[in-house]
A and B are shown apart, each in its own frame.
Chain A
Amino acid sequence: DGGITQSPKYLFRKEGQNVTLSCEQNLNHDAMYWYRQDPGQGLRLIYYSQIVNDFQKGDIAEGYSVSREKKESFPLTVTSAQKNPTAFYLCASSIVGRPQFFGPGTRLTVL
C-alpha cells in the first residue's frame, strides 16, 4: 500500500526535552511538509522540503528543526526552545505543485 505514516500517534514530553516526530512516505513524492494545528484552528506551516538535503522554514519554524537525508523520510524535532509545543502535528507529502497527502498526525502533549 502506498501512503504516508506518522509515529507515534501520541507523544508526551517533559519540560526541557527534545522529541522527534517521525514521518515516512512511499509515494515517491519529492516534497514533504510539517504543519502544526492547535484546537479549532487551521494548519500553520513549520518546515517544508522539496528535495533531499534541502528544506525551507515556514511561518512558525522557531523551536523546531528538520532533516531530509532520504526522500522517504522527513523527521521533525521539537526542541526545548519551543515554548508551547502542545499541539497536533501533521506531515504531508506531494508532487511539487500538486495536492498534498496527509499522514494521520501526532498529538504532542507537554507534561
Chain B
Amino acid sequence: SQQGEEDPQALSIQEGENATMNCSYKTSINNLQWYRQNSGRGLVHLILIRSNEREKHSGRLRVTLDTSKKSSSLLITASRAADTASYFCATDEWHNDMRFGAGTRLTVKP
C-alpha cells in the first residue's frame, strides 16, 4: 500500500516563483526522501531527511519534516523550466523497503 500522499497532485507556476509540495504519511518512519522523475525516466534522489531532523537544505531545495503531524514539505525556490517533473516522497519504515506517494506533477512555465 502507498504510504505517502503528495499534495497538490499538480502544480503550475511561472519561472522564478517558488514551488511548495506537501507529503503526508501514516506510520512511524526512519527517514523520508524526495525524488524527482522526468517523464518516462527513472527516479532521481533529491534529498533525505531523518526522523530526528526538522529541516534540510540542498541548493534551491528546502525540506521540512514534522513527525508529530506526519508530514513533510519540499520547497523549490526560484524555479526554472528545467524543474518541470514529477516529485515523489518516499518513506523508509524501518524495515528497509520504501513506500512512495502518487507524486506532484510540477510544470514551470518559462
Chain A residues with CB under 8 Å of chain B are: 31, 33, 35, 40-45, 48, 50, 56, 58-59, 88, 90, 92, 96-105, 107
The answer on a CB contact under 8 Å between B42 and A99 is: no
Please measure, in the bound complex, the distance between the C-alpha atom of A40 and the C-alpha atom of B44, giving whole angstroms.
17
Q: Which residue of B lies closest to A58 (CB)?
A: B97
B66 to chain A, nearest CB (A): 21
Partner of A43, one of B44, B45, B88, B96: B88
Partner of B97, one of A40, A48, A104: A48
The answer on a CB contact under 8 Å between A45 and B96 is: no
Chain B residues with CB under 8 Å of chain A are: 1-2, 4, 30, 33, 35, 40-45, 48, 88, 90, 92, 96-103, 105
Taking A59-B1, A101-B45 as contacts, is the C-beta distance between A42 and B88 under 8 angstroms? yes
Q: Which residue of A lies closest to B92 (CB)?
A: A97
CB<8 Å pairs between A and B, sample of 12: A31-B96, A42-B100, A42-B101, A42-B102, A43-B43, A43-B88, A45-B97, A90-B43, A101-B45, A102-B42, A102-B43, A107-B40
B49 to chain A, nearest CB (A): 11
B101 to chain A, nearest CB (A): 5
Please measure, in the bound complex, the distance between the C-alpha atom of A40 and the C-alpha atom of B104, giving whole angstroms.
10
* Chain B hits for A56, CB < 8 A: 97
The answer on a CB contact under 8 Å between B42 and A105 is: yes
* Chain A hits for B92, CB < 8 A: 97
A76 to chain B, nearest CB (A): 15
